[in-house]
Amino acid sequence: MEISAEEIIEINETPYQLFQKGVPNKATWITYRNMMKKTVCEYLKTILVGDLSLVEKQKQDMMISGKKLHYRRQYYDADFEIRVNELVKRAKADSKWIDSVLVAIASKLMDRTKLKKTDPDYIKSTMVENNLKPLKKLFSMVDVPIAWGKIDVMVNDENDIQDQSRGYTEDELETICKFCDPMERLMVKLGASSGIRAGAYDLNWGHIFKVYQIEKGKYVWEHEDVTESTVEYPVVCGLIRVYADSTSEYLD
């Protein structure tokens, strides 16, 4: 293999575009994007400059249409992409500044893990980790080195309340399903049996496999392995391709 000089193309994408490219799974991207909006538009509202004209236009448009901010999202995000690009630009210019910013974010979030569980601002330390994941992805995609070690040390679960939850019993599931339509019953039972997250419900028939037991200890499920004679054997369970066609794909 030989690469010519003409094949070497300079990357001119913005930090936001690289961030988006780094999260190919649609469901994960929506989650990362929303968390990043909260970070740059709320947590860093007064730290980053952004574009006040875009925010003002968003406010005016919402007033005209009668729309209001969601009670769980009290910030405007019209200049979201600009703020992401600005954050990266400042991080590249001053490594000590971005380290201080990330430490401050982690510290403030960890303060919320010390609140009473009944407090509306209470979060578990796992939520702190989740808030930091989009930032880790962003800075890895734009080649900004961050001292994540000292930040990760701050995030611990010593304040988390022990999870006392359990799975539903069959009787409880049947009671829930009495009040569901067919599609809702499917979602309830699929979630209870697999434990998949909400984003993994983006399925189609090609992601679902019947598992046939053709002899003791031997099973087939892949479409190419299932023949006309296979369907005569009993179906013992089913498999789904979770996050199909992404780097996070797995069978459940």
Instruction: Report the run of H or E that residue 64 belongs to, with start and end.
Output: helix 52-65
* Residue 174 Cα distances to 185, 189, 201, angstroms: 9, 9, 21
Write down which residue in 97, 124, 154 finishes a domain: 154
The answer to whether 212 and 221 are in contact (CB under 8 A) is yes
Write down which residue in 154, 178, 196 finishes a domain: 154
Domain hosting 227: range is 170-251
Dump pLDDT digits (tens) for 25-39: 888 888 899 999 999
Rounded mean pLDDT, 176-205: 85
Question: In this structure, are 146 and 174 located in the same domain?
Answer: no
Question: In this structure, are 140 and 102 located in the same domain?
Answer: yes
Dump pLDDT digits (tens) for 194-229: 888 777 888 888 888 888 887 777 887 776 677 777
Dump pLDDT digits (tens) for 66-75: 888 776 678 8
Question: In this structure, are 175 and 117 located in the same domain?
Answer: no
- Whether 163 maps to a domain, the answer reads no
Percent of the chain at pLDDT above 70?
92
100 vs 107: CA distance, rounded Å: 10
Question: In this structure, are 73 and 145 located in the same domain?
Answer: yes
Dump pLDDT digits (tens) for 231-252: 778 888 888 888 887 777 788 7
138 vs 21: CA distance, rounded Å: 10
Which band of pLDDT confidence, cut at 50, 70 and 90, is reported for residue 163?
A: low
Question: In this structure, are 118 and 202 located in the same domain?
Answer: no
The pTM score is: 0.64
Q: List the one residue out of 14, 28, 22 whose CA is nearest residue 249.
A: 28
Question: In this structure, are 118 and 142 located in the same domain?
Answer: yes
Q: Which residue has the tokens 């799975």?
A: 167
Percent of the chain at pLDDT above 90?
35
Give how many domains the chain has, as a whole number: 2
- Whether 160 maps to a domain, the answer reads no
Which of 48-62, 103-117, 213-227 is predicted with the least confidence, judged by mean pLDDT? 213-227
Question: In this structure, are 68 and 175 located in the same domain?
Answer: no
- Whether 94 maps to a domain, the answer reads yes
Question: In this structure, are 83 and 197 located in the same domain?
Answer: no
Question: In this structure, are 187 and 120 located in the same domain?
Answer: no
Write down which residue in 106, 123, 154 finishes a domain: 154
Q: Which residues pair with 208 in a beta bridge?
A: 240
- Whether 131 maps to a domain, the answer reads yes
